Structure 1
Amino acid sequence: MLLMMAEVLRLSNVAEALPGNDFWAFLGWNQSHVPWTGCSLHDMIQPSFSFLVGVALPFSIAGRMAKGATFGALLKHTLVRSLILILLGIFLRSINRSQTNFTFEDTLTMIGLGYPFLFLIGYSRQRTQVIALVLLLVGYWLAFALYPLPPAGFDTTTVGVPAGWEHNMNGFAAHWNKNTNLAAAFDRWFLHLFPREKPFLYNRGGYTTLSFIPTLGTMVLGLFAGHSLKSGSAPRERIRFFLLTGAALVAVAALLHFTGICPIVKRIWTPSWTLFSGGLCFFFLAFFYWLTDVAGHKKIMLPLMVIGMNSIAAYVIADAGIAAFISSSLSTHLGENFGQVFGNAYAPLVRGIPVLALEWLVLYWMYRKKIFIKI
């Protein structure tokens, strides 16, 4: 959520204004999504959020059952929560639109679509959970692999992909090219079931509705991590499990990617992306678990705790145009050119810092007042 809120710093704009500067180029690249294959730090926002949903589920189920909740009551709560997440995602994507924008690739919507299945998987034995994960990823991979490639000479510009786009893949990996894959074809049918401003031809970023299926796989990986945290194993054993699992997942994903069997593409959440990003999430979890619960450095985590304890509020703040309102208000009171104190190149950063600070202070106030928005 901090990375998402920090988009207001617009580091990529600074990098563009300072060509040849490797430092800003590195920061700008990691605050941007990669065009297709590969991964930047920014690409880890959505899988990290999804992973933590799975981590929290064993604790959530145990806590509600301890209060006497039945399976039926838990399932009802799950379905209501899923519906709220889906509708909230659609609402956020509809801001400043002339009508409701029925799109389902928002992070909250993806989680909402998969959450009922995660709940049912979470109620099963761990062996069943592993089998479900394997079947889910292999089945999704097979569906893409069997979907026919576009004919020779196909005009990719009709689906929003420039002719000769450098990120298009050849051979078997072409089954996962932008907007010519199974999930893109599904959306050209599915999204027309809803009222639209104009016919849906393609998603400019290549994002698809069906990505909620492998996103469920990411949440299941988080479920395994949650079981480990909830178990009675020693901290060292937990960290060892996180690191070994993360290394294995990244290694398998890299093998699938470089052999062309299944490329790592976040935008359509390929099964190899589920494994790769899940592996990185295990690494992140190992580090933060060690830092807070083992080494005991909880005080330095306060800035992140303020955001994490109100993750839904942070998501809405970052995605609902609030940053633009704050920035406009700052211009009103400080002048349109207040960001140029260090020159034009750094203006986006200078303007973004107080916006990010004010957003964090809102969350800090909520934290101090114990106002926590939960679904």
Structure 2
Amino acid sequence: MLLMMAEVLRLSTVADALPGNAFWQFLGWNQSHVPWTGGSLHDMIQPSFSFLVGVALPFSIASRTAKGATFNSLLKHTLVRSLILVLLGIFLRSLHSTQTNFTFEDTLTQIGLGYPFLFLLGFATRRTQVVTVLLILAGYWLAFVLYPLPATGFDTTLVGVPADWPHNMQGLAAHWNKNTNLAAAFDQWFLNLFPREKPFAYNRGGYVTLSFIPTLGTMALGLFAGRALKSTDTPQERIRFFLITGACLLAAAALLHFTGICPIVKRIWTPSWTLFSGGLCFFFLTFFYWLTDVAGRQKYILPLVVIGMNSIAAYVIADGFGGFISNSLSIHLGQNFDQVLGSAYAPLVRGIPVLAMEWLILYWMYRKKIFIKV
């Protein structure tokens, strides 16, 4: 959530203005989505959020069950929660549209679409969960492989991809090229079932609705981690499990990617991306678990706790209020207040107070114990 909120700093814009500065190039790259294959730190925002949904599920089920909730009542709550997440995602994507923008690749809608299935997995045995995840990823991979490639000479500009785009892949990996894959074809049918300003032809970023299927795999990996955290294992055993699992997932992802069997592509959430991002999530979880529960350094991460305790509020504030805060700063500090360090650093000078004010709103909510939950 902090990485998402920090988009207001526009580090990539600063990097573009300082092309010879390796420090800003590094920061700018890691605050940008990669064009297609691979991944940056910024690409880890959505999988981390999805992973933590799975981590929290065992605790949520146990808490509600202890209060007397039945399976049917839990299922009803899950379906309502999923619907709210989907509708909230559509609402946020429609803020600057002239009519409802029915799109389902947003983080909230993706989680909402997969959450009912994750809930059902939460009651399954570990073996069933593992087998289900493997079947999801293998089935999704096979579906892409079986979908025919575009005919020779197909004009990719019709789907928003320049003919000389350097990120197009060859061979088996071509089944996961931008906007000429199975999931893109599905959206060309599915999204046009809804009222639109104009017929849907392609997503400029290559994002797709069907990504919620392998995203379910990411949430299920979080479910494994949540069960480990809730178990009677010692901290050392949990850390060992997290590290070994993370390393195995990364190794499997690298093998699939570099052999060309399945490239790592976040924008369409390839199975290898599920493995790759899941492995990194296990490493992230290891660090923060050690820092807070083992080393007892909770005070060092209070700024993150403030955001994490109100993740939905943070998402909405960052997505819907950043522009309002920025415009307000211009009104009260002057239209050119961000030029104090020169034009190259203007996005950073403007973004820092916006980010600070967004955090202060969340801190006020934290102090007042106001937590928005779905």
TM-score by length of 2: 1.00
3-state SS of paired residue (1:227): helix
Correspondence for 1:324: 323
Question: One-letter code of the match for 2:340?
Answer: V
Distance 1:317 1:29 in 2: 24
Correspondence for 1:161: 161
Q: Where in structure 2 are the equivalents of 1:147-226 lying within 5 Å? A: 147-226=147-226
1:95-139 CA deviation, whole Å, 9 max, x = no partner? 021110000000000000000000001111111000100000000
Correspondence for 2:344: 345
Give the gaps of 5 or more residues in structure 2. none
1:8 CA displacement: 0.3
3-state SS of paired residue (1:164): coil
1:179 CA displacement: 0.1
Distance 2:254 2:361 in 1: 41
Distance 1:355 1:29 in 2: 21
Correspondence for 2:366: 367
Question: One-letter code of the match for 1:368?
Answer: R
Distance 1:96 1:262 in 2: 36
Give the gaps of 5 or more residues in structure 1. none
Correspondence for 1:334: 333
Correspondence for 1:133: 133
Once the two structures are aligned, what percentage of the paired residues are identical? 82
1:318 CA displacement: 1.1
Distance 2:126 2:119 in 1: 13
Aligned-residue RMSD, C-alpha = 0.4
Distance 1:140 1:268 in 2: 11
1:20 CA displacement: 1.1
1:357 CA displacement: 0.2
Correspondence for 2:357: 358
1:190 CA displacement: 0.3
1:118-174 CA deviation, whole Å, 9 max, x = no partner? 000111111100010000000000000000000111100000001110000001100
Q: Where in structure 2 are the equivalents of 1:1-375 lying within 5 Å? A: 1-320=1-320, 322-375=321-374
Distance 1:63 1:30 in 2: 37
1:55 CA displacement: 0.2
Question: One-letter code of the match for 2:99?
Answer: Q
3-state SS of paired residue (2:198): coil
Question: One-letter code of the match for 1:224?
Answer: F
1:276-301 CA deviation, whole Å, 9 max, x = no partner? 00000000000000000000000011
TM-score by length of 1: 0.99
Q: Which ranges of 4 or more aligned residues in structure 1 deviate by more than 3 Å?
A: none
Distance 2:253 2:266 in 1: 12
Distance 1:232 1:339 in 2: 53
3-state SS of paired residue (1:38): coil
3-state SS of paired residue (2:340): helix
3-state SS of paired residue (2:314): helix
Distance 2:196 2:105 in 1: 16
Distance 1:303 1:253 in 2: 33
Matched length: 374
Distance 1:349 1:368 in 2: 28
Distance 1:205 1:53 in 2: 25
1:25-65 CA deviation, whole Å, 9 max, x = no partner? 00000000000000000000000000000000000001111
